[in-house]
Structure 1
Amino acid sequence: MARSPRRITRRDIRKPDQFVAVTGEIFHFVKQKRKPFIGAAAAVVLALVGLWGWDAYAQRQNHLAAKDYVQGVNLYHAGKYADAVQRFDKAKEYTLSSYSAPALLYQANSYLALGDPAKAAASLAELLQQERKQSLLRQLGLLSLAYLHETAGNCKEAGPSFAEAEKIVAPFTDEAILGKARCGMETQDLKGALESYRQYLTSYPAGDRVGEVTIRVQELEAKVAASGGK
């Protein structure tokens, strides 16, 4: 038997449904907490405006740095190293940009081309101070600094840079291993050099320098054996 529909009374009509009741509670709460709500909303707006302003500032820095960086690279490849140095000086000032650190690397190479290794080393040191993350750029900076010291006959300074560059997972790890091995030989750390050359053969069995390194390993093994393993 069908049930007759429930009769709606005047009291039911006056009674608010759940949505209306909940909405009313929210508005009542907001009315009581109006000042805190306004303050919180203002804080959110200010934060969004601040983020937008910071982003716009960073983008402008990147744009200006890119202009000086590209001009510097063009001057460098044209052999105008002194002019390139000045452009890279401007580009590196935009420290928030992605061009600041590469500009320092190019600046170091420009100083080397001008025959000023001291200033080149200073630019590389600035690069390493700025580029803290374990990146390709940091590896290149470390290798450049290591080569600079090695060329000057100072393997005691070059060795640590080669060793740190070796720990970075990037395309030039093999060069870092070989540099560390060369400096081991230069400082008479034959066992250390032998270990590095063996590491190269293990890590890069199809490397371009395998033939040369294999001969080095054989020579060092003979020397280490002749010295009683020292």
Structure 2
Amino acid sequence: MCGNDELDSRFHGNDNVVYVSTFYEAVNIEITHKRKEIFVAKGKKITRKELKQPDQFHSVAARVFQYIYENRQKFYLASGIAGLIVLLLVVWGLYHLNYERNANLMYSLAYNSYTLAGVSDDEIKTYEAAVKIYEELINKYPKSDAAKLAFYNTGNIYYSLYDVDKSIEAYGNFLKKSSKYNMLTSLAYYGLGYCYEDKKDFEKAIESFENSNENIEGLHFASMNYANIARIYEKMGKDKKALEFYKKALEQTPDPLIEALVRNKVATLS
């Protein structure tokens, strides 16, 4: 029976060259002897063919190992590429987490600066300071989720500061980045409707309120949009269209106060 020294001598040449076939020949001899010993110990007869037949698992493993050995350069390259891809994914994941975290910190700083401050004599200055932080956030982290929200909030702030053009620009930037299924998308269109109404661009105002109604949830918002559209048609002198949308608002509103106001409008225009 072959010992470890004999296997090593068959596996390693004088020039450190691996002779794979010789190695497997030695291992097969070793396994054959082992199998013979096992069958003899159990008192079973074994044919010469069965004795020489290689172990199935070993044969498969040997072929796999030999294939890998013969194609080792390709495997080294594939392993290196796979390792590099994993490393890049890990680095990107860590970068993205840090990117979003820093953006969220700036967003919280801006949002809290005016929502927690409340109404005061310095309200305008508070809003202006918040806008600066939002704009810095947008410039530093333009691809973050916080940047999208910053555009929306900036639109609200500019409208509160009576800067309608900048409000329209901010809402527009938010809508370019947001999904139609986002609740804030409907509210951004709602804000745009008021902006265009203030500019007396009534057609765009109506279009904005209609867009707001397309994917907004809740009867309350639908009734408000219908009432807004009706009000604009009334300003345009289109009483028939105004009456049509006031009636739609009346059908949708769950608010008794709004219902009373809309009923009064319907009665006036009927």
Q: What range is the shorter-chain TM-score in?
A: 0.7 to 0.9
Query: Do 1:61 and 1:96's aligned partners in 2 also have CA atoms closer than 8 Å?
Result: no
Structure 1 stretch 117-126 or stretch 15-24: which is displaced more?
Answer: 15-24
Q: Higher relative contact order at CA 8 Å, sep ≥6: structure 1 or structure 2? A: 1
**Any stretches of 5+ residues in structure 1 without a counterpart?**
223-230
Provide closer, same or farther for how the CA distance between residues 63 and 184 of structure 1 changes in structure 2, counting only shifts above 3 A: same
Q: Residue by residue, what CA displacement relative to the aligned partner does 1:63-101 show, whole Å, maximum 9, x if unpaired?
A: 211222122122223321111111111222313322111
Contact residue 108 and residue 124 of structure 1 kept, 8 A: yes
Say if 1:201 and 1:210, in contact at 8 Å, map to a contact too.
Answer: yes
Moved more, 81-90 or 49-58: 49-58
**Residues 140-159 of structure 1 mapped to structure 2, 5 A cutoff:** 140-159=187-206
Aligned-pair identity (%):
25
Over 3 Å counting, the alpha-carbon distance change for 1:29 and 1:118 in structure 2 is: same
Query: Aligned partners of 2:56 and 2:249: how far apart in 1?
Result: 74
1:62-81 residue pairs with structure 2 within 5 A? 62-77=100-115, 78=117, 79=123, 80-81=126-127
TM-score (norm 1): 0.79
1:1-230 superposed matches below 5 A: 7-77=45-115, 78=117, 79=123, 80-93=126-139, 94-171=141-218, 172-204=221-253, 206-208=254-256, 209-220=258-269, 222=270
* Aligned residues of 1:65 and 1:99 also touching (Cα < 8 A): yes
1:32 Cα offset (Å):
3.9
Task: Give a deviation string over 1:32-57, Cα, whole Å, max 9, x none.
Answer: 44344333333332332222222222
- Equivalent AA in structure 2 for residue 45 of structure 1: G
Query: Letter of the aligned partner of 1:53 in structure 2?
Result: V
Inter-partner Cα distance in structure 2 for 1:107 and 1:211: 34
Q: 1:15 to 1:169 in 2, by over 3 A?
A: farther
Per-residue deviation, 1:167: 0.7
Give the equivalent residue in structure 1 for 2:15: none
Q: Residue in 2 aligned with 1:225?
A: none
Please report the TM-score for the alignment, with normalisation by the length of structure 2. Answer: 0.68
Matches of 2:158 and 2:134, distance apart in 1: 11
> For 1:170-222, what per-residue CA distance to the aligned partner results, in whole angstroms no more than 9, with x for missing partners?
35444333323333333345554444344434444x344233334444555x3
Cα distance 1:166–1:24, how it changes in 2: closer, same or farther (>3 A)?
same
Contact 2:134 2:154 (C-alpha < 8 Å) held by counterparts:
yes
The 10-residue stretch of structure 1 (182-191 or 127-136) with the greater mean CA deviation from structure 2:
182-191
Distance 2:244 2:46 in 1: 93
CA RMSD of aligned residues (A): 2.8
Q: Aligned with 1:99: secondary structure?
A: helix
Bigger radius of gyration: 2
The amino acid across from 1:7 in the alignment is K
1:226 paired residue number: none
Q: Give, in angstroms, the shift of residue 161 of structure 1.
A: 1.2
User: Secondary structure in 1 aligned to 2:205?
Assistant: helix
Residues in 1 aligned to 2:171 and 2:134: alpha-carbon distance in whole angstroms: 13
